[in-house]
């Protein structure tokens, strides 16, 4: 059963929360990079640390991370993978594994993923398979990575046939999120991250949804206090969901709210046309519309969600995609069990369920939020 502690907007945020997975439990810290050396975990020290980053993030932040790690490790090395989704492929994985072998890294090496979700997924997968598994720490530098991809242990790379088709569940030793690094994130990437923050409201937390409505202007200004509440709350919810269902046998699927429609949009329009978070924003509108039509959800929520997304500078009208193709893509979505599309729907604000719906209603939901 899913248990999420109550949302308290006013309370002073703790700087660490934890994800409860038995002997794979780990802390999520929200704090400046420079203090990462203070991580309490005893195993996070030793002979060798390898920081994996990319050509955008490394020049901005790697020296601060490396200085912090020098207090704990005898040697700290930096490996720079390519930027962007293209880095999630065999050649970059091989380059990391080869570098580790060249450095003589043994099972005590600790990898640090300094970057967005791409670097996190790639580094995590390298850590999962190098010498059958070594420790790694997530140091997420995009909003999306801080509130979503760095927590939960999914790692992997893409194939030409599809995204995330190869990977492993491998939990990090810790997550260290520095809110200040979000200051250099491009506006469009920041907004895309906000879509994944907003997602947690409709499926799990009405009070957080209302808090987002009151604080969207502060979040758009990247206000530190507002970000602290948003990132902490998103991580709390994700941690509770992952703790209840580490390998996505059930409740973890609610985190895919908006993703069935969203993945179809991303694939149908060609990857890169929309950022993932933008596709999720549009997908959430369609899933909410479908919830109104199929489950009688109060249609007022649709308006509230739309205006929240608009304030986050996210798209609210999808480019046209042929409706039959749209359905076909959703049937091919790896989350669709054998032909029937199971949508994450919200019978009431703050609750989610996984369920099939008539194609006719899904087509209406798509048309209501797409260009004709
Ligand atoms: P990303 O990692 O490509 O980062 C977006 C861009 O921002 C990149 O160009 C990056 O170099 C740049 N950047 C990162 N931090 C910056 C900073 N602080 N300042 C300036 N620029 C910065 O994209 P993303 O949205 O973070 O992650 C997307 C990836 O995450 C996808 O591959 C997706 O499959 C994966 N993902 C994984 C999970 C999971 O559970 N493992 C969940 C969601 C998404
Ligand atoms: Mg997502």
User: If you write DSSP's letter for every residue of 98-143 in order, what string do you get?
Assistant: HHHHHTT--TT-EEEEEESHHHHHHHHHHHHHGGG--EEEEEE-SH
Ligand 1, atom 3: nearest CA belongs to which residue?
84
Q: What would the pLDDT profile of 72-83 be if each residue is shown by its tens digit?
A: 999 999 999 999
Ligand 1, atom 33: nearest CA belongs to which residue?
117
Structure tokens at 365: 């939901």
The residues carrying an active-site annotation are 132, 154, 196, 238, 248, 252, 256, 259, 263, 276
Q: Report the separation in Å between the CA atom of 308 and the middle of ligand 2, taken as the mean of its atom positions.
A: 18
Q: Report the separation in Å between the CA atom of 144 and the middle of ligand 2, taken as the mean of its atom positions.
A: 8
pLDDT at 334: 58
Does the structure show a pLDDT above 80 at 358? Answer: yes
Does the structure show a pLDDT above 80 at 12? Answer: no
The average pLDDT across 161-172 equals 94
Q: Report the separation in Å between the CA atom of 117 and the middle of ligand 1, taken as the mean of its atom positions.
A: 4
- Neighbour-count burial for 292-306, b at 16+ CB within 10 Å, e otherwise: bbbeebeeebbebbb
Q: Report the separation in Å between the CA atom of 360 and the middle of ligand 1, taken as the mean of its atom positions.
A: 35
Does the structure show a pLDDT above 70 at 51? Answer: yes
DSSP state for residue 149 in the 8-state scheme: I
Question: Residue 41 — very low, low, confident or very high, per pLDDT cuts 50/70/90?
Answer: low
Kindly give the number of the ligand 1 atom that is closest to the alpha carbon of 143.
26
Sole residue written with tokens 């939020």: 369
Q: What would the pLDDT profile of 282-336 be if each residue is shown by its tens digit?
A: 999 999 999 999 999 999 999 999 999 999 999 999 999 999 999 999 998 655 5
Residue 59 Cβ contacting ligand 1 at under 6 Å: no
Beta strand pairing call for 16-19 and 46-53? unpaired
Question: Residue 98 — very low, low, confident or very high, per pLDDT cuts 50/70/90?
Answer: very high
Q: Considering the chain, what is the average pLDDT of its residues? A: 94
- Residue of 44 and 336 predicted with greater confidence: 44
d(CA 8, CA 88): 37
Question: Residue 36 — very low, low, confident or very high, per pLDDT cuts 50/70/90?
Answer: confident
Please name the residue ranges forming H helices in the chain.
57, 63-70, 90-102, 117-129, 143-144, 187-204, 206-220, 224-244, 259-269, 276-295, 300-311, 323-332, 359-368
Structure tokens at 171: 């939990």
The percent of residues above 90 in pLDDT, for the chain, comes to: 85
The average pLDDT across 154-167 equals 94
Question: Which ligand has its closest atom nearest to the C-alpha of 192?
Answer: 1
């Amino acid at each position: 059963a899913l248990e999420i502690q109550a949302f308290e907007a006013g309370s002073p945020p703790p700087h660490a929360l934890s994800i409860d997975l038995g002997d794979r439990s780990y802390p999520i810290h929200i704090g400046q990079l420079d203090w990462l050396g203070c991580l309490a975990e005893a195993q996070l020290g030793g002979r060798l640390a390898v920081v994996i980053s990319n050509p955008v993030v490394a020049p901005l932040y790697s020296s601060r991370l490396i200085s912090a790690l020098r207090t704990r490790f005898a040697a700290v090395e930096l490996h720079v993978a390519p930027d962007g989704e293209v880095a999630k492929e065999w050649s970059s994985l091989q380059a990391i594994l080869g570098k580790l072998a060249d450095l003589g890294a043994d099972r005590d090496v600790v990898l640090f993923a300094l970057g967005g979700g791409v670097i996190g997924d790639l580094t995590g997968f390298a850590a999962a398979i190098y010498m059958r598994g070594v420790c790694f720490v997530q140091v997420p530098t995009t909003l999306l990575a801080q509130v979503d991809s760095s927590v939960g242990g999914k790692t992997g790379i893409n194939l030409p046939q599809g995204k995330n088709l190869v990977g492993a569940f491998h939990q990090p030793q810790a997550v260290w999120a520095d809110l200040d690094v979000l200051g250099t994130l491009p506006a469009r990437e920041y907004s895309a991250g906000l879509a994944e923050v907003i997602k947690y409201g409709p499926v799990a937390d009405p009070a957080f949804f209302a808090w987002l409505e009151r604080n969207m202007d502060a979040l758009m200004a990247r206000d530190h206090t507002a970000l602290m509440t948003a990132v902490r709350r998103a991580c709390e919810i994700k941690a509770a969901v992952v703790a209840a269902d580490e390998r996505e046998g059930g409740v973890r699927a609610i985190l895919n709210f908006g993703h069935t429609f969203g993945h179809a949009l991303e694939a149908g329009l060609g990857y890169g046309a929309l950022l993932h978070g933008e596709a999720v924003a549009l997908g959430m509108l369609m899933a909410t519309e479908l919830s109104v039509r199929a489950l009688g959800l109060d249609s007022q929520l649709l308006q509230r969600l739309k205006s929240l997304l608009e304030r986050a500078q996210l798209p609210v009208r999808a480019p046209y995609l042929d409706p039959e193709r749209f359905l076909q893509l959703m049937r091919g979505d790896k989350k669709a069990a054998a032909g029937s599309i199971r949508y994450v729907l919200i019978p009431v604000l703050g609750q989610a369920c996984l369920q099939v719906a008539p194609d006719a209603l899904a087509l209406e939901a798509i048309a209501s939020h797409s260009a004709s």
